[in-house]
Amino acid sequence: MAAKFLGQFLLERGAITPEQLLAAIEAQRVSNPLLGELAVQRGLLTDAQARRVNERQRAEDRRFGDIAQEMGLLDEAQIEDLLAAQKAGRKLFGQILVEQGVLTDAELAGHLEAHRADLDEANHALAIGISGPLAETATAAIRVSHRLFPRLLASQCQAAGLADDEALRGCEVAAHVRIEGEQPLMIGIGCDQATMRRMASTLLSIPPEECDDELAIDALSEVVNVLMGYVVRDTLADDARYRACPPEAGVPAAQLIAGDNAHAVSMNSQLGPFVLLVGH
């Protein structure tokens, strides 16, 4: 049993078509711009200023508005107006399908009930599967990914279950970071080439055709590096001593989690599926 986004769940149940899924995803994206995008649209920030705030977000894991106010780019009233506008315009995926005439309210309610049951079963199986000394760290890495992807890659992500051999074989590329010390740790991401390129072009704000393999791998490594930073902050003691190694790419995902004390978690995202790797 694997957890799925509502759109994927409905698609697999035959409730919507691929074309309807893509149309609803785009409508939802338009209805829920990032705060920086909204500020640029309203002429409160330039593209360059929004990027500067986003760069600090990667390092500091703080809200966009708090950083922008600290930098003197936005005041409190402007931030409150932006947040109110963002909230007012935000639409749920199911709501969009009803508005587009794809589903009725009654049909949506039935599918939502089935989807919640599906998620509960998948999350229960994942909780049972993640055990041992790295259980807390693996769970923290999942939580950080949920928080990081919307900020860093403008995409939601969701744990889908423990990765099997097929999922690991599907990882055409992998990047990882290690820290050495009293509590050595490895965090990595494995995925196929297409997902890597989508992540890279989003992170770098460039068209996919301008993102070659070398640039894409560097971008994936940067995502992993930021992810490791957040996991270390959330899980290691403040006085813990460790040395962070530079990101590496080229080691197969299956090799990175070889051994008993490691976890590989399948993750769904709007940029494509990937595998979150956690080990010593």
| Domain positions in the chain | 6-30+91-122, 33-89, 132-279
Confidence at 182, pLDDT banded by 50, 70, 90: confident
d(CA 203, CA 216): 10
Q: Assess whether pLDDT exceeds 60 at residue 214.
A: yes
For the chain, the distance separating the N- and C-terminal CA atoms, rounded to the nearest angstrom, is 27
pLDDT level of residue 108 (50, 70, 90 thresholds): very high
Q: Could you say which of 3.30.565.10, 3.40.1010.20, 2.40.50.100, 3.40.1550.10 is the CATH number of the domain covering 132-279? A: 3.40.1550.10
Contacts of 28 by beta carbon, 8 Å cutoff, 6+ apart: 91, 92, 93, 96
Kind and range of the H or E element at 219?
A: helix 213-235
Q: How many helices (H) and strands (E) does the chain have?
A: 13, 7
- The stretch 23-35 carries a mean pLDDT of 89
Query: Which pLDDT value is given to residue 209?
Result: 83
Does residue 6 register a pLDDT over 70? yes
**Beta carbons of 153 and 227 less than 8 angstroms apart:** no
Check pLDDT > 90 for residue 30.
no
Of 28-37, 41-50, 231-240, the range with the highest mean pLDDT is 41-50
The model's pLDDT over 219-271, given as tens digits with 9 standing for 90+, comes to 999 999 999 998 988 888 777 788 889 999 989 999 999 877 889 999 999 89
Q: Is the pLDDT of residue 140 over 80?
A: yes
157-162/274-279 β-pairing: unpaired
Q: What integer pLDDT is reported at residue 266 of this predicted model?
A: 94
How would residue 1 be classed by pLDDT, with cut points 50, 70 and 90? low
